[in-house]
Amino acid sequence: MLAIERRQKISEIILEKKSVKVPELSQLFDVTEETIRRDLEKLEKKGILMRTYGGAILCDSTTEDPPFTVRVTKNKLGKQKIAKKVAEWIQDGETIMLDSSSTALEVAKNIKDKRNLTVITNSIHVIMEFSQIEHCNVISTGGLLKPASMSFVGSVAENTISNYYVNKAILSCKGIDKSIGIMESNEMEKEIKKIMAKSAQNVYLVVDHTKFDKVAFVKMFEIDEIDILFTEDKLSEDWEEILRNKNIHLEYCY
């Protein structure tokens, strides 16, 4: 097994079990304990875990879901750049889905001048953004309200989304990792976004540079399930090659 494959397996184990022990991993992968310690050191630098005496625990940041009021201020300029570029890809008369991310809200602000759009969303903030726009149709998913994110989740929201098929789903995430894929902080948000992706002809992933090489609590879907990735900062050559090999269009938003 290659080192990168072993570290991917370790990541999956700690996401499931919340903690790992060096001797157990050494025995599982048939490598020395020193090799496992080096693996844990690399994973700690990626923010996946925190090393402890004799092992490691899942980093708190992989499971936390900060309030929307906090998220909306983080790298606001970068999200605005992304939103302006995404707006160039939206045409009058299209049907789109927007998730409850702060980046999707910035997209909403930039497409209000489009004519005859139909917007399906689980975000109260997005709904309010379009509330005074008469030339756009807005469909709320309804469902269970999550006060911290002001988003609708649960079976009602999921069923509403699954009843439609749109031109484009515009989604964000909590983290994107080369080996694990695209991740979210909780199951309910993950399910909403997965259904949105399945209900769209094209999937646009909008992620600022802070999300790359970061992991969250639950895997949402594989990288190759998206069509276009929008980001505001230059990616590493490794990332560019991965996206090229998966035939994903990379759109820089400078």
CATH of domain 68-252: 3.40.50.1360
Contacts of 163 (CB under 8 A, 6+ apart): none
Q: What's the pLDDT score for residue 57?
A: 87
High-pLDDT (> 90) share of the chain, %: 76
Nearest to 102 by CA among 80, 84, 85, 117: 80
Q: What's the pLDDT score for residue 126?
A: 97
Confidence of residue 40 (pLDDT cuts 50, 70, 90): very high
Mean pLDDT of the region 51-66: 75
Mean pLDDT of the region 231-237: 97
Flag whether pLDDT at 12 surpasses 90: no
Q: What's the pLDDT score for residue 95?
A: 98
pLDDT tens per residue across span 173-224: 999 999 899 999 888 999 999 999 999 999 999 999 999 998 888 899 999 9
Architecture of the 3-59 domain: Orthogonal Bundle (1.10)
Give the pTM.
0.78
Confidence of residue 46 (pLDDT cuts 50, 70, 90): confident
Q: What's the pLDDT score for residue 66?
A: 62
Flag whether pLDDT at 243 surpasses 80: yes
Flag whether pLDDT at 62 surpasses 70: no
**Contact call for residues 123 and 96 (beta carbons, < 8 A):** no
Q: What's the pLDDT score for residue 142?
A: 96
**Contact call for residues 197 and 169 (beta carbons, < 8 A):** yes
**13 torsion bin: left (phi>0), alpha (psi -120 to 50), beta (else):** alpha
* CA dihedral sign, ordered 41, 8, 10, 34: negative
Q: What's the pLDDT score for residue 74?
A: 78
Domain locations along the chain = 3-59, 68-252
pLDDT tens per residue across span 106-121: 999 999 999 999 999 9
Confidence of residue 75 (pLDDT cuts 50, 70, 90): confident
pLDDT tens per residue across span 76-103: 999 999 999 999 999 999 999 999 999 9
Contacts of 119 (CB under 8 A, 6+ apart): 96, 97, 98, 108, 126, 130, 136, 137, 138, 139
Mean pLDDT of the region 143-166: 94
Mean pLDDT of the region 40-57: 86
SS3 for the chain is CCHHHHHHHHHHHHHHHCEEEHHHHHHHHCCCHHHHHHHHHHHHHCCCEEEECCEEEECHHHCCCCCHHHHCCCCHHHHHHHHHHHHHCCCCCCEEEECCCHHHHHHHHHCCCCCCCEEEECEHHHHHHCCCCCCCEEEECCCEEECCCCEEECHHHHHHHHCCCEEEEEECCCEEECCCEEEECCHHHHHHHHHHHHCEEEEEEECCHHHECCCCCEEEECHHHCCEEEECCCCCHHHHHHHHHCCCEEEECC
